[in-house]
Amino acid sequence: MNVFVLKDEAAIGKVVGDLFCDKVLQKPNAVLGLATGATPLPTYQRMAKRCKAREVSFKGVTTFNLDEYCDLPVEHPNSYRSFMRAELFDNIDIDLQNTHFLDGNTADEFAQCAAFDALIEEKGGIDLQLLGIGRNGHIGFNEPANAFTDGTFKVELTPSTIAANSIYFTDVPMPRYAMTMGVGSILRAKEIVLVATGSAKAEAVKAMVEGAIDPQCPASALQKHENVAIYLDPAAAALLSR
Ligand code: GLP
């Protein structure tokens, strides 16, 4: 794991946004793994800015989003599909047909999860995966558990995640279940960039970087991957010993 501490979230957004743009410049048909939450917003703003300036085009890019809520209409503003349109896809020149999401309202979750993993493989695998981290160390929606997950699956969210994400739900109750790429699916990405900002993430960051590889901190599985970069602000890095 390569850990970088930058001065603030704007500096991280610029560097990580540029990493994604550079990947697309090198490989115009790159497969990108994308994440939701507040943390990636500066990264997405940087990508949109460079696309608007015609420095990079996402026309040939394919994306896969990590996760999606269950039992929430896709057109609801809190669905991750809506989030990605508002925060990135409507601001760049990507072809929406090449953006892939899990369907949290599927009648056949097992078939859909298998199809999602198969489609990632068919597209050649994820070249660069963006991740945030939950306060409890989750990545995607892989919650602390007794064993690491592998492929895409349906998960029951933990009270910590429900408390953290409930603030975004004002008109409907926060969903209790989600579909998510598993830890194994995430580790199959060729390159991974994780971003964490703010003191609420400091404990999870310490467990991820300096703790044992333990499914109680799902992000600690990233220690097993050979190409991971972690970008932190000083508050998220505050508990690291080196
Ligand atoms: C959600 C998402 C994660 C994200 C996490 C942190 O639970 N499923 O992918 O990393 O929230 O979100 P935030 O960046 O808003 O703290």
For residue range 152-161, list pLDDT tens digits in order.
999 999 998 9
Rounded to 10 degrees, what is the CA torsion of 94, 98, 102, 107?
130
Q: Is residue 64 part of a domain?
A: yes
Alpha-helical (H) ranges within 94-197 are 109-122, 159-165, 183-187
Nearest CA to ligand 1 atom 12: 37
Q: Give the residue, out of 165, 180, 192, with the most ligand 1 atoms within 8 A of its beta carbon, to mutate for a pocket test.
A: 165
Q: Is residue 122 part of a domain?
A: yes
pTM above 0.95, yes or no: yes
pLDDT of residue 242: 78
Ligand 1 site: residues with CB under 6 angstroms?
A: 35-39, 66-67, 132-134, 140-141, 161, 165
Mean pLDDT of the chain: 97
**Domain span at 141:** 26-232
Whole-number Å distance, alpha carbon 59 to ligand 1 midpoint, is 27
Q: Is residue 33 part of a domain?
A: yes
90 CB burial (10 A radius; 0-12, 13-18, 19+):
exposed
Q: What is the pLDDT of residues 189-236, one digit of tens each?
A: 999 999 999 999 999 999 999 999 999 999 999 999 999 999 999 999
- The full length of the chain comes to 242
* CA-based nearest residue to 189, from 233, 225, 219, 221: 225
CATH number at residue 173: 3.40.50.1360
* Total number of domains constituting the chain: 1
Q: What is the pLDDT of residues 14-72, one digit of tens each?
A: 999 999 999 999 999 999 999 999 999 999 999 999 999 999 999 999 999 999 999 99
Residue with tokens 């999860």: 113
